[in-house]
């Protein structure tokens, strides 16, 4: 269950990171509220997951999911580069996330 919460926390991180783009520096109310709500949800889910998952692993996986998801969202929503080098780097992050999951024993 902790790993599911951690994945949800990472997905919530993607939502708030993308939301930052739409807030226009927190000058737009609705996107700002959505962004702040997802920030709170993301950190809360991370905190709950860290009751079981080791800190270093949990934080690294959370950040990794957020980084990969946000990079992909940037490509889809904002036309950011889809270069082979960038995609390979994203795959390396995914490999690191999977590696951490496979080598971590919950406490």
Label residue 36 by pLDDT band (50, 70, 90).
very high
Q: Of the candidates 74, 78, 69, which has an alpha carbon nearest to the alpha carbon of residue 11?
A: 69
pLDDT at 105: 80
| pTM score | 0.89
Q: Of the candidates 19, 1, 104, which has an alpha carbon nearest to the alpha carbon of residue 59?
A: 104
User: Which residue did the predictor score with more confidence, 32 or 102?
Assistant: 32
Q: What is the average per-residue pLDDT within 2-18? A: 97
Length of the chain: 107
Q: Please say if the pLDDT value at position 70 is more than 80.
A: yes
Q: Please say if the pLDDT value at position 107 is more than 80.
A: no
């Amino acid at each position: 269950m902790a790993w599911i919460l951690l994945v949800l926390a990472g997905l919530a991180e993607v939502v708030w990171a993308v939301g930052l783009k739409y807030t226009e520096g927190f000058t737009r109310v609705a996107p700002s509220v959505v962004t702040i709500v997802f920030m709170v949800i993301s950190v809360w889910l991370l905190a709950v997951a860290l009751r079981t998952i080791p800190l270093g692993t949990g934080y690294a996986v959370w950040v990794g999911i957020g980084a990969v998801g946000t990079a992909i969202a940037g490509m889809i929503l904002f036309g950011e580069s889809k270069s082979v080098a960038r995609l390979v780097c994203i795959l390396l992050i995914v490999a690191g996330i999977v590696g951490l999951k496979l080598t971590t024993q919950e406490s």
